Amino acid sequence: MLFAPTLPMHAQTPAAPGPRPWMNTSLSPDQRAELVLKQLTLDEKIGLLHGNGMAHASQWQMPLTYLSNGGAGMTAGIPRLGIPNIYMSDASYGVRDSGANGRYSTALTSALGSASSWSAEAACQYGTLIGRELRAQGYNMTLGGGTNLTREPRNGRTFEYLGEDPLLAGTLVGNRIKCEQAQHVIGDIKHYALNDQETGRNIVDVKISHRAMQESDLLAFHIGIQIGNPAAVMCSYNRINSDYACENKYLLTDVLRKQWHFPGFVLSDWGGTHSTEKASAAGLDNEQPLADFFGPKLKEAVEANRVPASEIDDHARRILRSMFLSGVVDHPIEKSVVDIEGHLDIAQHIEEQSIVLLKNDNSILPLDGTKLHTIALIGAHADVGMISGGGSAQVDPPGGNVIAPEGHRGTHWQDHIWFPTSPLKALKAALPNAKIDFNSGTDPAAAAAFAKSADVAIVFAHQWTAEGMDLPSLSLPDNQDALIAAVAAANPRTIVVLETGTAVTMPWLPNVAGVVEAWYAGSRGHIALANVLTGAVNPSGKLAMTFPRSEQDLPHPTIPPLAKEDRGAGSGAVNDRARPASRYSVTYDEGAKVGYKWYESENKQPLFPFGYGLSYTAYAYSNLKTNSAARSVTFTVTNTGKRPGTEIAQVYATLPQQSGETFKRLAGFESVTLAPGESKTLTIPLNPDVLSIFDEQKEAFQLLPGTYKITAGPSSADTPLQGTLNLQ
Ligand code: BGC
């Protein structure tokens, strides 16, 4: 029977007068948590360990609850002691569900898009904005922080994550969480771990060695946790080497608690809890969104001595500690109106740093407003808006879905949602002297005729992705490849603007002059895009994931299909989650060779490599020196072109031979802004975690003594500088 979402009695008890020593802010979060814990009854402790329903009743086939403030989850606090309720909202690229709740949220560039900025500062602004908007809407916990590596680019949630490299993803998520939590919201990193595909996500058993997971997906989480100190980790739906993530002792206790000394709490993904005693012993602290296993059943298990009281104390202590750490006790939520204009500026600025210029033959870009007379804009509803990513990440556009008819603009689970960010309007404003017309692109022949005589044709192409589904392929949907091919055949001065959630294949690439990847571009995406297209902003983004030539080049050319009886297990609905009989599994035999590491080891040429992105200026790299004692690399970057620009310089390391590795690892990176002709010398420290290998016998990382080959340059496939580092 499902737990009925009504507030437990203890959570309705009013505040008691009297001294509250735990409110002494000079004590540590641990000390404060301990003082509260001593006051709690068993019911109050258990109350902290589960949810009380969510706003999305129909998807979850449970009664609607008003308790969650319109958000995804709610855990009751201890009002008599001044411990507030935890109100959780999804916030992947902005706060979810503002539309349904009659509120406003800013949509940022998708997480994957923002990862192309390679900017810790942008990640911090991203987190700060979300933290502020969460609190303004009455939430004190974020469910953002997606960090699963892009091991499977067809994964429908790729846009919610930060690409394929553990150092880049970990650095960015850590900085995001640090700044989110500074706004007094409980930060979260998810989905721990190896939830790298959506197909069968509730049943799939991921097979992978300890070494491979530690050096890939887990390393991203570890770096993120070290930098961001998140209060919470969300365990994922899938199984890993047989056990579900949310009852996986290796992941939750051996790694998270013992190896990493994580002091915060683990909450389950929604419906990702599968047991009481096993999950509790393995290290799950909080069940969401209900209390099927961590409510009455947990209490019964404690009373029957099947779960030790000390285990309950540990769970409750971790949650209380996290509340003190993030400041949600000392800073009660106050609903407010955010600085909308200020936040739109931030969203625009992050998108400007995230757009990646992939191709620019004969400098077709930037568009020159003094020379262009006619521009043919085609496809992807570019007259009215730009697309966004779906699922629990979905941010609602103000006014609703701009391509839906008036009166039907509400947003529903897995609708394709378009923001009212019109590239046509933005380009008209940026190029007032050009005649810019629009064609829908639904008829490729008509679009080609429309484009033929224009000075430039710009084809917009979209790829919608969302939670709960994977893409059947990396091809653009809806006949858009044919549209682009037809327009490019009619007009060689064709530029393609991509609005995608992951990589796409580009059969038309040799025939177009320019390609710009704009991702899911957020609330001011159109203006950021117009600024890049017209050169007001010099693009500097670099891909956080490889774009393959074809699915055949992926480690797994197809995602293993689900058996008939297992279909539906990807949706996440409560009654899909327990299929213990299912044998559906994926074996990640590529191991730690995720993304560029795979292509290098297999000697496969990608379409666009990891770390790649062009600029309207050019850079030269020179004079590499290594410092083995300091484990750092020094080199010079020069802007050899005519425009100021920002270059993301990358350093890779190939480990000594005894590592057995046939690929290089990103070991450091830095952005440098340079005026034309200017040079700067960078000293980049190399991250020791990234240089180490995981020893499965010792269950520990180890830095191998020996010679490390160091390379540096503008992308993983272009590293003109070389040196060595000798580590003892
Ligand atoms: C998703 C999580 C999300 C949760 C709450 C789940 O289906 O996997 O990422 O935070 O729902 O909406």
In whole angstroms, what separates CA 189 from the centre of its chain? 10
Phi then psi for residue 36, to 5 deg, are -70, -45
Q: Distance between CA atoms of 581 and 141, rounded to whole angstroms? A: 35
User: Is any atom of ligand 1 closer than 6 Å to the C-beta of 143?
Assistant: yes
The CB-side HSE value for 413 (13 A sphere, CA atoms) comes to 13
The answer to whether position 544 is within a domain reads no
Where is the domain boundary, 534, 558, 581? 534
pLDDT above 70: percentage of residues in the chain: 96
Mean pLDDT, range 622-647, rounded to an integer: 98
* E strand or H helix that includes residue 303: helix 296-303
Are 366 and 309 in the same domain?
A: no
How many residues in total does the chain contain? 728
Q: Distance between CA atoms of 131 and 129, rounded to whole angstroms? A: 5
Q: Distance between CA atoms of 94 and 108, rounded to whole angstroms? A: 6
Are 45 and 168 in the same domain?
A: yes
Mean pLDDT, range 138-160, rounded to an integer: 98
Q: What is the CATH number of the domain that holds 62?
A: 3.20.20.300
pLDDT-derived band at 565, boundaries 50, 70, 90: confident
Q: Are 406 and 506 in contact (CB under 8 A)?
A: no
User: Is any atom of ligand 1 closer than 6 Å to the C-beta of 572?
Assistant: yes
Are 492 and 403 in the same domain?
A: yes
The position carrying tokens 């006790």 is 329
Mutate to test the pocket of ligand 1, among 143, 159, 161 (most ligand atoms within 8 A of CB): 143
Q: What is the CATH number of the domain that holds 687?
A: 2.60.40.10
Nearest residue (by CA) to ligand 1, atom 11, is 270
Determine the pLDDT at residue 407: 84
Are 227 and 308 in the same domain?
A: yes
The answer to whether position 333 is within a domain reads no
pLDDT-derived band at 666, boundaries 50, 70, 90: very high
Are 442 and 368 in the same domain?
A: yes
User: Is any atom of ligand 1 closer than 6 Å to the C-beta of 198?
Assistant: no
Nearest residue (by CA) to ligand 1, atom 4, is 270
* Residue 570 reports pLDDT greater than 60: no
| DSSP per residue, 536-560 | SS------SS-B-S-GGGSSSSSPP
User: Is any atom of ligand 1 closer than 6 Å to the C-beta of 289?
Assistant: no
End-to-end CA distance of the chain: 60
Describe the crossing of helices 166-181 and 217-228 by its angle, rounded to 10 degrees: 30
Are 185 and 306 in the same domain?
A: yes
Domain that holds residue 137: 9-326
* Residue 498 reports pLDDT greater than 70: yes
Report the amino acid identity of residue 315: H
Its pTM surpasses 0.85: yes
Are 311 and 366 in the same domain?
A: no
Where is the domain boundary, 306, 326, 346? 326
The answer to whether position 591 is within a domain reads no
Are 276 and 178 in the same domain?
A: yes
Are 125 and 252 in the same domain?
A: yes
The answer to whether position 550 is within a domain reads no
Nearest residue (by CA) to ligand 1, atom 3, is 392
Determine the pLDDT at residue 2: 46
* Residue 73 reports pLDDT greater than 70: yes
The answer to whether position 439 is within a domain reads yes
Nearest residue (by CA) to ligand 1, atom 8, is 269
Mean pLDDT, range 544-567, rounded to an integer: 93
Nearest residue (by CA) to ligand 1, atom 5, is 72
Instruction: Give me the residues paired with residue 694 across strands.
Output: 701
Are 13 and 108 in the same domain?
A: yes
User: Is any atom of ligand 1 closer than 6 Å to the C-beta of 671?
Assistant: no
The answer to whether position 572 is within a domain reads no
Least confident of 10-14, 65-69, 200-204, 349-353: 10-14
The answer to whether position 541 is within a domain reads no
| DSSP per residue, 587-611 | E-TTTT--THHHHHHHT---SB-TT
**What is the rounded average pLDDT for all residues in the chain?**
95
Are 121 and 203 in the same domain?
A: yes
The answer to whether position 335 is within a domain reads no
pLDDT-derived band at 65, boundaries 50, 70, 90: low
Mutate to test the pocket of ligand 1, among 90, 155, 198, 288 (most ligand atoms within 8 A of CB): 90
- Measured in Å, residue 189 CA sits from the centre of ligand 1 at 12
Are 319 and 398 in the same domain?
A: no
- Measured in Å, residue 95 CA sits from the centre of ligand 1 at 13
Domain count, the chain: 3
Where is the domain boundary, 311, 326, 341? 326
Q: What is the CATH number of the domain that holds 411?
A: 3.40.50.1700
Q: Are 198 and 156 in contact (CB under 8 A)?
A: yes
Determine the pLDDT at residue 235: 98
